[in-house]
Amino acid sequence: MPRDESTRLHVGIIMDGNGRWAEARGLPRVAGHTKGARRVSEIVTAAPDLGITHLTLYAFSTENWQRPVAEVQGLMRLFRGYILGKMDSLRAHDVRVRFIGMRHRVPAHLRQLMDLLEDKTRACRGLNLTIAIDYGGRDELTRALRDIAAQAAGGALAPETIGEAAVAEALDTRDLPDPDFIIRTSGECRVSNFLLWQATYAEYAFLKLPWPDFTPAVLAEAVEGYRGRHRRFGLIGAQASAARAVAES
List the domain boundaries for the chain.
Answer: 10-247
Instruction: State mean pLDDT over 226-246.
Output: 68
> How many other C-beta atoms lie within 10 A of the C-beta of residue 164?
9
**pLDDT tens-digit profile of 44-89?**
999 999 999 999 999 999 999 999 999 999 999 999 999 999 999 9
Instruction: State mean pLDDT over 160-175.
Output: 96
128 an active-site residue?
no
On whether 6 is known to bind a ligand per the annotation, the reply is no
Check residue 183 and give its pLDDT.
98
On whether 8 is known to bind a ligand per the annotation, the reply is no
Give the DSSP letter string of 113-151: HHHHHHHHTTT--S-EEEEEEEE-HHHHHHHHHHHHHHH
Check residue 7 and give its pLDDT.
81
* Length of the chain, in residues: 249
Distance CA 146, CA 138 (A): 12
16 an active-site residue?
yes
**pLDDT tens-digit profile of 107-130?**
999 999 999 999 999 999 999 999
Nearest to 30 by CA among 82, 78, 102, 81: 78
On whether 188 is known to bind a ligand per the annotation, the reply is no
- The single residue of 16, 134, 172, 180 carrying the catalytic annotation is 16
- Superfamily of domain covering 10-247: Decaprenyl diphosphate synthase-like (3.40.1180.10)
**pLDDT tens-digit profile of 18-30?**
999 999 999 999 9
Strands 128-135, 181-184: pairing kind = unpaired
On whether 184 is known to bind a ligand per the annotation, the reply is yes
Question: pLDDT at residue 201 above 50?
Answer: yes
- The single residue of 64, 147, 178, 213 carrying the catalytic annotation is 64
Band the pLDDT of 2: cuts 50, 70, 90: very low
Distance CA 44, CA 189 (A): 24
Question: pLDDT at residue 243 above 80?
Answer: no
